[in-house]
Copies of this chain bind each other. A is one copy, B any other.
Amino acid sequence: MTTTAGPATDARPAPRRGARSVLVLVTLVVACLAVGAVGGLSTQGAVDGWYADAQKVPWNPPNWVFGPAWTVLYVLMAVAAWRVWRVGGLAHARPALLLWVAQLSLNAAWTPIFFSGSLVWVALVVIVALEAVLVATAVAFWRHDRLASWLLGPYMTWVAFATTLNVGIGVLN
């Protein structure tokens, strides 16, 4: 009957701490960066091929922007999931964390679909679904940890921006 952490007035379970918590954080960061690495692989060929030659919207950033931007976003989404797991616990936060898995899966799917070159409109459908699931994830995260929702903010903003780039590639080519 000892309270190990957190305000005594809070009915939620105490946040997980210690080695297990660090392990979960590292696993989540590695998993997200792995998704990014496979995504990076899938751009090979296209970046010096059809994508280089494609007409783009005027606000399409240069290639070097995407690597650092996505690296930051993958770390942020991993930290967000970790915080929700830490305060909510797997059983309690399962629906929220499954939506997070769904958004990561859609994220993993989008890059090879888009850079395949012939499925740009399918990629657009996927990125719109990604944004919808991201909003649902942020809403589900809110009641577990508000900061976790905010951590998804830059990601949602970037995906909305990337959607305009995807539309641009589709329309202009």
CB distance from A156 to the nearest CB of B (A): 15
Cβ-based interface call for A133 (8 A): yes
Give the one of A38, A45, A98, A125 with max B CB within 10 A. A98
Interface of A is mostly: helix
Segment from A66-74, A81-89, A110-118 that makes contact with B:
A110-118
Query: Which stretch (A10-18, A99-107, A162-170) binds chain B?
Result: A99-107
By beta carbon, the residue of chain B nearest A117 is B95
Q: How large is the interface on A (under 10, 10 to 19, 20 to 34, 35 or more residues)?
A: 20 to 34
* Given A125-B128, A129-B125, A133-B119, residue A101 in contact with residue B108 (CB < 8 A): yes
How far apart sit A132 and B129, CA to CA, in the bound complex (Å)? 15
Most buried by B among A38, A42, A101: A101
Chain A residues within 8 Å of B, Cβ to Cβ: 38, 41-42, 44-45, 94-95, 98-99, 101-103, 105-106, 108-110, 112-113, 115-116, 118-119, 122, 125-126, 128-129, 132-133, 136
